[in-house]
Amino acid sequence: MNTLVKLIASFGFIGHIPFASGTMACIPLLIGFLLFPSQTGVWVLTAVSTVAGLAVCRAAVRVYRKHDPSMFVMDEVAGYAVTLLALPLTAPVVWAGFFVFRLLDIVKPLGIRRLDRMQAAESIMYDDLLAGIYGNLILRILIVFFPQWMLG
């Protein structure tokens, strides 16, 4: 059972990479969305990663013996997917989404840090989902003001 929890929480053990595990978890998604842009895929990934991440939060805290362990990267998967929800998956949008989401996840502005500091195991997911929502809104603003760059 512990192996299954680790497999899900770490997104196929990518989270066990010893450096920049959150960024490393987003890179396969970045490549996948660039090669195979599909909003259906984004919606499915958002739903599956959110449900799976929330389902293993408590068990992951127990297995890793730490609240919000760095190996738990399913939250980054869900957050990056939320960033791209219902947007055109052009290369500039996918790349900008990657950088905007990672920046928001690292800096944690506008209430994201407050969610990150909550003691509930599920808060592991909440801060990244909020970062994804903010990232999505930022991308929408960029598309409005720079359509030639974002949609080109």
Q: Residue 90 corresponds to which amino acid?
A: T
Burial of 152 (0-12, 13-18, 19+ CB in 10 A): exposed
Radius of gyration of the chain from its Cα atoms, rounded to whole angstroms: 15
Element of type H or E holding 146: none
The predicted structure's pLDDT at residue 1: 82
Contacting residues for 34 by C-beta, under 8 A, at least 6 apart: 91, 94, 95
Give tens-digit pLDDT for 49-77. 999 999 999 999 999 999 889 999 999 99
Residue 48 pLDDT > 90: yes
Closest CA to 127 of 109, 112, 111: 112
Give tens-digit pLDDT for 79-132. 999 999 999 999 999 999 999 999 999 999 999 999 999 989 999 999 999 999
Burial of 133 (0-12, 13-18, 19+ CB in 10 A): middle
Look at the chain and count its residues: 152
HSE value, Cβ hemisphere, 13 Å, CA-based, for 129: 14
The stretch 7-24 carries a mean pLDDT of 97
The predicted structure's pLDDT at residue 152: 81
The residue extents of the domains of the chain are: 2-150
Which stretches of 10-111 are DSSP H helices?
Answer: 21-35, 39-64, 74-84, 91-107
Give tens-digit pLDDT for 19-46. 999 999 999 999 999 999 999 999 999 9
The predicted structure's pLDDT at residue 85: 98
The answer to whether 27 and 11 have CB atoms below 8 angstroms apart is no
Which tokens go with 82?
């939320």
